[in-house]
Each structure stands twice: as C-alpha cells, then as structure tokens.
Structure 1
Amino acid sequence: MHPERKVGNNEGSIMGQAVKAAFPAIDRQGLNRLETHFIASEIYRRDDVAARQAKLARLISTNVIPQLLRLHTDVVIDAPAVEVLIKALAPGRLEISDLADIVLGSDLEAAVAYVAILRERGLSMETLFIELLEPTARLLGEMWDRDECDFIDVTLGVARLQKLLASFNSTHEVPALDQRRQVLMAMTPGDQHSFGVTMVERFLLAAGWEVQTELSATADELAELASRKWFAVAGLTMASEERMESLKGTIVQLRKHSQNPTIGIMVGGPLFTENPALAQEVGADATAPNAPAAVVTAQMLFDVSVSTGLPA
C-alpha cells in the first residue's frame, strides 16, 4: 500500500521533524490518567507486564515509526491530490496490523499520533472505527486465539483502543466517567449457551467496565432491571436462529423501559459473525465477532450515548 522509498539520514531527520510538528499536542498526563478508567487495577499486579510491554514496544521503533514517516507527505515533492491520498490512506490490513503492534506496546502517544495522521487526511472517526479500530480489536482476539499473545496483552491493547476512541471523541472528559461505563450482559431468553457472555464479561471487566451479567433472566426481567438501573450498553448473545424472535422482543423491551433512553445495544454469536447485517434486522445498534472487539464496540456505543446526553 505504501511504496518503499529510501531516506537518507538528513532527509529522514527533516521528515521526522515535520511529522512531529504535524502531530496535534498530546496531553501526556491526561493519557496517563485514563488508565484508571480503561484498565482494571488487577491487570497491573502481574509482575511481567512491564517486561512484556518493553519487548512489544520495540516493534514500534523497527516497524511502525518508519511507516509513520512515509505517511507524512508534506515534504514529498509532487504529492498526489488530496482525494487520491485519502483513498490511499484508507485503513487496510497493514494499518490494522501496525496499530495492533502499537497498542500491544507501551506507547499510547504513538497510537494517538498514528490515528491523528489519518484523521488529518480527512478520515472520520466513524470510518476509522469501522475500518481500523474495531478490526484491530478483532485481530487482537484472533491473536489470542492463536496463542500469539496472552489475556493481559490483549486486555492492555483493547484498553488502549478504548482510550483512542474516548480521546478523539472527547468522552474521557465526562464527569464521573467510571460510574457511567456500565454494561448489562445477558443471553437471549431461552438460550442455554453462556460461554460467549462470560467471555465478553471477562474482557469488559478487565478493561475497566462495570458489568452486570444475567444468565437466566426473561425479557421482562431484563427490561425491569434496565428501568431501575442506568446502563450505557446492553449486550445480548444468541446461539441459535430459533431464538431470533425472542431476541427481537427483548431488544424492543429494553429500549422501551430502559432508564437510559439512548442505551446502546450490541449482539453477538455465530450467526452475527457470519452475517453482521442481522444485527440491524433484530433491532440492535452493532455486533462484534469476538470478545475484544465487543469491548471496543461498547466504547463506541458509550460515545454515542455521551453525544446525545448522559444523566447528570
């Protein structure tokens, strides 16, 4: 996607300075404070976190930073038209893989800068979520499935993707943020397979969310719970097509009775992974193919709730 181009030492230095100047100001203290909202404190009790982060961070200097230099075209003679450049910079497999490497490292500033470059080239956050951030979270889940990284690695990476969304959407500035990020997780009433729910719950908790899980509640009970307690997001899993009508009815009930009138509803399960368009058919706002992607999707739905107004 990005043609190779040899860069001399002097030219590389000039390009590096130009890239640095092009980045928006980054509030380092603000980024550090976000840790309390987007990563559960238990994660940092692992003795090997620092060593593992340092090892993975080396990928940034060897693979990612050179590409950041190539992305910046302000100092390149005969740069292409803006429309061509935007199309060329549209996130693809390489960008997804690179961002995964960055968030598995320890340098959130590099991730912010990486997304900022794409934003400055005209890509909206909605496009970046669909084409870059959610696919990156999905990739982290696939890497975990293949034992290429462990649960802590993936959790830290997903938490940083959440922070990217929150930073660019300014939702990290919401008062009492830690009290707002609440999720109701449940199986479709009548369903018997709880593995998907418990796996998503595990990642949400590790990524700093407050989660209430109901494994045997009816649609009426879920609606009544949502009417008594404020939830930013409700997540429902469905393992069988036979439960389709039950899921539709449950979503209708949740929207009707929820204390949060803009509650975001995400669904998951094999049918939705195979055909994501089914999410709209059942009345949900989004779907996610695996647990790490569900965490980032929940953050996106939270950001939508913030934009339409949260309770005081």
Structure 2
Amino acid sequence: MGQASSPFARPAIDGQSLKRLETHYIAPEFYRREDVAERQAKLARIVSNQIVPRLLKLHSEAVPAAPPVKLVIEALAPTSADITGLADIVLGSDLEAAAAYVLVLRDRGLSMDMLFLELIEPTARMLGEMWDRDECDFIDVTLGVARLQKLLSIFNDTYTLLALDERRHVLMAMTPGNQHSFGVKIVERFPLAAGWQVRTELEGTSADIAEIAKNRWFAVVGLTAGSERQLESMRSTIAQIRRESRNQAVGIMVGGPMFTANPALAHDVGADATAPNAPSAVIVAQKLFDLSAAALQGIARA
C-alpha cells in the first residue's frame, strides 16, 4: 500500500523555477539598478537592528506581564517577530530562504489562509509603514512585495499556470461620486511595479465600470471611496460588476479611510477584501488572483 502524502508536503520548487518567476512578479526595469544588492542589504540591517528591537520593546512595555519573547515566538500563531523576520528576508534576494521560512511556520500546523492573514499580508503592511516613515523607498518596498507575491503563488500553485503574465490584470476605478484621485494614483504604482497589467479609470458611472469589466478579462477589480456617502454607490457598482464581468470569478477589493477603520465594512458592500495600504493591496490582489484561478480551474474540471 502506498504511503499517504503529508498535508504539509513541501512544494516542488527548485532554484530555476524561482528564478523564472522574477519575470512575472517584478517589473524588469528594477533589476537594471546597479545598487539593488547594496540597498537590500542596507534595508535588511535596518529591519534587524532597528525595527525588531523596537517591536520587542513595545511588546514588553505594552504587556508587562507577558511571557518571555522566546515563548511568544514559539507560539502557534505568527508573531511580530515572525513578521519582522519575513520582512528581513524578503528585503534580501533569497526567495528560497523566504519559502523555507514560511514552511517552518506552516509545519506548525497553520493553514495557508492563516499564514496569509497573520503573516504575509501583515509583512506587506509593515513594508508600507516603513515606506511611510522613509525607512525605505519605493523600489525597496516593490522588491519586497514582489517576493511576497511569489510566495503566495508558490504555496497556492498558481505559479504553474500557463500565460501567467497575461492573466494578472487589475482594473482600478473610483466609485462614482468620489472626487479624490490622488490615492488611486499612489496605489496604482505598486501593482504596476510588481508585474501587474493595470487599467485605471478615474471617471465613469457604475455601468461604465461594469462595461469595461465585461469587455476585458480582469483577475481583480479595485474600487476606492472617499467617504461613507459613497458606500451605497460602491455597493451597486460591485453588484453590477459581478453580474457582467467577463471573469465570473473576479476578485473585488475596496479601499478608503472607512475600510481602514472598519475592515468588516468591505464585506458589507459586497467586496471580497480590503487593504490598509498600497503594498498590502498588491498582496491582497495576488490572493484574490489565486482564488479566482482555483475557481476557474474547478469550473473547467466540472
């Protein structure tokens, strides 16, 4: 009788496969900079020497009776130390080390959904916060986020899809009634740099946005709203996109200050997810792409 396969079997990824993924998850122009390796080493040192000690100090001050940090790190769920550890690795250039790091945590018994929610997306969020504090620049964050995308695709098996680059399209649009386009233009830079094909619509009605999604295949649609007054318009726009989208498994994510304050509001308007900043939005988009790919594969097999 054959031996049952382990639910935590390591993905069959070799160095050449990882190298080939670079063309899908990082815009080529970023590799033309001669100082990339030096910058990555500098950022890794910042994380190790400044960010990690700051978080550990906050841990002990905020929870004086907390158990020793070593015990916290060894707990089942990913901790702040796990997140900063992964950030340290993805700011370097060793994707195999990053994959091995995630495997260690998965071997604790954590599902990929839990690792996404508690480790990978928070790591992207942390990179965005470092960018906000001018501890790293756009290129540094982009390289780190791109590697997080690759980790998701590896563990969700979407790196094996044919014509992967032709499927990673995102439509970014402002909810009708929203007049503040600056945030959209900031967010737009990150998926572009991380290898996505991006179409941005700053005007148009719900019907106009749905028509675009009907005429062209998008893995993800992102909508932004500037205030709660636009939530009803967003809700109806999302419903229309779902009815008419060429990709019937399209993932829809939303953004805006009200969603940062109350992430559960995303599901109230009919979206699949939200993200607190631009780098984490790229990771959420990759997660939605993976879910869409799995759904489409299931339909094809049916």
TM-score range, shorter chain: 0.7 to 0.9
Contact kept in structure 1, 2:171 and 2:221, CA below 8 Å:
yes
> Residues of 2 paired with 1:57 and 1:269: CA distance?
31
Change (3 A) 1:57 1:148: closer
> Residues of 2 paired with 1:54 and 1:27: CA distance?
24
> Residues of 1 paired with 2:284 and 2:110: CA distance?
19
Change (3 A) 1:49 1:275: same
Change (3 A) 1:61 1:29: farther
Alpha-carbon shift at residue 166 of structure 1 (Å): 0.2
Secondary structure at 1:172's aligned position in 2?
A: helix
Secondary structure at 1:309's aligned position in 2?
A: helix
1:179-218 → structure 2 map (5 Å cutoff): 179-218=166-205
> Residues of 1 paired with 2:110 and 2:194: CA distance?
27
Alpha-carbon shift at residue 259 of structure 1 (Å): 0.3
Amino acid at match of 1:206: A
Contact kept in structure 2, 1:181 and 1:210, CA below 8 Å:
yes
Match of 1:255 in 2: 242
Match of 2:161 in 1: 174
Match of 1:11 in 2: none
> Residues of 2 paired with 1:234 and 1:207: CA distance?
16
Change (3 A) 1:253 1:100: same
Contact kept in structure 2, 1:57 and 1:106, CA below 8 Å:
no
Match of 1:94 in 2: 81
Match of 1:111 in 2: 98
2:150 paired with 1:150:
no
Change (3 A) 1:25 1:59: farther
Alpha-carbon shift at residue 46 of structure 1 (Å): 2.2
Which stretch has the larger CA shift, 25-34 or 246-255? 25-34
2:209 paired with 1:222:
yes
Match of 2:259 in 1: 272
| Alignment equivalent of 2:147, drawn from 138, 146, 160 | 160
Amino acid at match of 1:231: F
Amino acid at match of 1:188: T
Change (3 A) 1:140 1:57: closer
Contact kept in structure 1, 2:145 and 2:282, CA below 8 Å:
yes
1:79-90 → structure 2 map (5 Å cutoff): 88-90=75-77
Amino acid at match of 2:136: C
Identity of aligned residues (%): 68
Scaled by the length of structure 1, the TM-score of the pair is: 0.82
RMSD: 2.3
Alpha-carbon shift at residue 119 of structure 1 (Å): 1.1
Change (3 A) 1:274 1:158: same
Secondary structure at 2:75's aligned position in 1?
A: helix
| Alignment equivalent of 1:42, drawn from 16, 19, 29 | 29
Alpha-carbon shift at residue 152 of structure 1 (Å): 0.5
1:7-48 CA-to-partner distances (Å, cap 9, x unmatched) read: xxxxxxxxxxxxxxx976641110111000000012112232
- The 4+ residue runs of structure 1 with deviation greater than 3 A are 22-26, 54-63, 84-87
Q: What are structure 2's unaligned runs of at least 5 residues?
A: 1-8, 51-70
Match of 1:138 in 2: 125
1:102-121 CA-to-partner distances (Å, cap 9, x unmatched) read: 11111111110000011122
Amino acid at match of 2:216: K
> Residues of 2 paired with 1:220 and 1:89: CA distance?
46
Match of 2:55 in 1: none
1:82-133 CA-to-partner distances (Å, cap 9, x unmatched) read: xx99981311111111111111111111110000011122100000000001
Contact kept in structure 1, 2:11 and 2:155, CA below 8 Å:
no
Scaled by the length of structure 2, the TM-score of the pair is: 0.85
Q: What are structure 1's unaligned runs of at least 5 residues?
A: 1-21, 64-83
Number of residues of Structure 1 aligned to a counterpart in Structure 2: 271
Change (3 A) 1:208 1:24: closer
Amino acid at match of 2:276: P
Alpha-carbon shift at residue 195 of structure 1 (Å): 1.6
> Residues of 2 paired with 1:96 and 1:278: CA distance?
25
> Residues of 2 paired with 1:281 and 1:43: CA distance?
38
Secondary structure at 1:265's aligned position in 2?
A: strand
